[in-house]
Amino acid sequence: MISKNHIFKVLLVFILGIFLAKYLRIDWILAFTIWSFTLISLLLLVFFGRDKFHFRKLIGLNLLLVFLGSGILGGSSSLTKNIDNHFYKHFLPKDQLIGDIVELEAGDGKYNKVIIQVEHVVNEYREKSVEGKLLCYIDKNASNISLGNKLIISPRIFPIKNKNNPGEFDAENYWETQGITELSFLNEDVVQLVKSAGFYGVFWNDWREYFKNVIRKYVSDENFDVVSALVLGDKSSLSKEKRAVFANSGAMHVLAVSGMHVGILLGFLQFIFYRISFLRKRNLYIYFALFVVWCFAFLTGLSASVFRAAIMFTILGIGQLRGYSFFSLNAVLFSGFVLLIIDANYLFNIGFQLSFLAMLGIIFFYKRIRNLLNIKNRWINYFWEGTSIGIAAQIGTLPISLYYFHQFPNYFIITNIGLLILAGAALISAIMLFILHTIPFVNEVLGKIVDFVFNALTGFVTWINELPFTVSTGFNPSWVHVLLMYSAIVAILYFASKRLLAGFRFASLVLFMLSLGLIVEREMNKQTRELVVFNNYNKTIVVKTKNKIYCFFSEDKDSQLDKTEFLVSGYGKQMGCDILYTPVKVNNKVLLGNDFNLVANKKGWNITYFKHEIYLVDKIDPQRKPSSLLIGGSWNKYIPQEYVDIKAFRSAFTLKP
């Protein structure tokens, strides 16, 4: 049996290889050469030196080098630029693409989000077999947009690029980790059906729609959106306000079908199946539970997060058959290794990182936290164990969560206690409704139960959200800071296990100072003063004052508030301040004390900020003040480049007082 130490070493060097491939941009030919050389060296050492004692350490070292080379090869081959047959290398204007819909998410606006696995580039002269994925936003009026359908499309393809605005979501890196680097917006007239989905696609899609109708029939309209999101992974009906409530209370993970849902379902199924005598023999209950879990994964669309969770819990379940505890370190490390073999890009996926670190947090800290209190009462102890799991998972994910989301839910312990009961009850009650909905009277009763549970869930989350100081924002740790925090946590764990009090105190002090540094930086950011011109198709600026952000955006005909909030909200989280949004129309004037003055006219915005004068230009104005800086941006790309002093086409422009 592989010891914990060995599997950890193998996984560590494999991850190191993936990092080297990504950040050094190693070509796959070089990666394959490195891997082949290390493998041949290992085979030679094993063949000629396995009986010689002094060669054994060398064989072990070379084995690690093979896994390092494997990580480099896996990471290199997953890079889009290294795929010779990728469609973007062969696609020309006016070409068409043929491919299958592999992911489909209904949008709440004009478009549905679709990922197409491209198979062919075609025109009147040729048909080229290719590979790669294309992110598409397809008009909702387009017909035959179903999972598994084969389409022929006439797209205009654009590279996925960040706007480089402060606090924005790193869409470029996110989609690159999904193996996607291009996107397209498609109207209904450029999308045609080639072939309907096969049995697999039609089967699961039909069942998904069937169960949505079951929810619609037996559950109230006010709960339909949350039930669909929690059980079927369909978040298209969720309002922006409801998403914000769940996010601020630290319960957003409840609405995204992922590891938590798979874990709850697996635990419930094992509990039920174990009580069936013939399933208990030869551990058949585990196999049956895993089978149902995979059916659930396919039913929800088998998104990347659900697929990873199903793989991980399958390996953990098989580990149970081999005598491991469910939260076995070996099983978790091995499941991570298997997932990275399947797709090296998972390493850079936020969901993978959070779920993996949460599992490690539970493994290393759960029992230590649980044993802090010796509770005799069975029910109180149940709540304490659930709280211990939540705290342990939070320890594992907190540093990286602050890096990605810049916020911390202050009442996460209370939230975890409530979700311990409500999330599981919500998922299980909805599944029971699916199973028994054909039985008269029972279906009505179950519908009422589902409504009651989901009302309680939504009410609890809303109550948390309405508490004062629900969420703290403004945390901006760097990657170095995150790594130092994890190093301090590991050191605390190590010194505690070795009972080295001096080392434990020192590591705890380091972690405290790192945490204090984040808080001090947060308060300093709140005091920052600056003006930011955002890179956006609509003129948008923010004025950052002490503890407040004022956002001004151009609004002539159509309301731009939703788009502006989406654009600027990340900056507010990064700075830890509330944002006041103000639309600006032609001939409007805006004053903020003596420090800021904005005058809007048909040719642009004249802005005075402290002693600076800037002009956001729409049209060339020969009468502009010669002292003002002329800023051109994406709101008007047709202004001659030589006419403007500062360009905000590729990134935001920041001005200090």
Closest CA to 333 of 2, 8, 612: 8
SS3 294: helix
Distance CA 481, CA 644 (A): 39
Which pTM value belongs to this model?
0.84
* Span 288-337, pLDDT tens digits: 989 999 998 888 877 777 887 888 888 888 877 776 665 677 878 888 88
Q: Does the pLDDT value for residue 513 go beyond 50?
A: yes
Domain definitions of the chain by residue range: 4-81, 87-197, 243-473, 479-525, 530-655
Q: Which CATH fold would you assign to the domain 87-197?
A: OB fold (Dihydrolipoamide Acetyltransferase, E2P) (2.40.50)
Out of 48-62, 118-132, 218-232, least confident range: 48-62
* Span 448-480, pLDDT tens digits: 999 999 999 999 989 988 888 888 889 999 999
Distance CA 532, CA 472 (A): 23
Q: Does the pLDDT value for residue 158 go beyond 50?
A: yes
Average pLDDT over residues 411-431: 85
Q: What percent of the chain has pLDDT over 70?
A: 95
Which pLDDT value is given to residue 387? 84
Which residues lie below 8 Å from residue 629, measured CB to CB, with a gap of 6+?
612, 613, 614, 615, 645, 646
Average pLDDT over residues 499-517: 95
Which pLDDT value is given to residue 41? 85
Average pLDDT over residues 150-160: 93
Give the Cβ contact number of residue 596 at 10 Å: 18
Distance CA 569, CA 561 (A): 11
Average pLDDT over residues 265-292: 84
* Span 644-657, pLDDT tens digits: 777 777 889 999 98
pLDDT band with cut points at 50, 70 and 90 for residue 3: very low
Average pLDDT over residues 417-442: 88
Which pLDDT value is given to residue 482? 96
Q: What percent of the chain has pLDDT over 90?
A: 33
* Span 567-616, pLDDT tens digits: 999 999 999 899 999 999 888 899 998 889 999 988 889 999 998 888 88
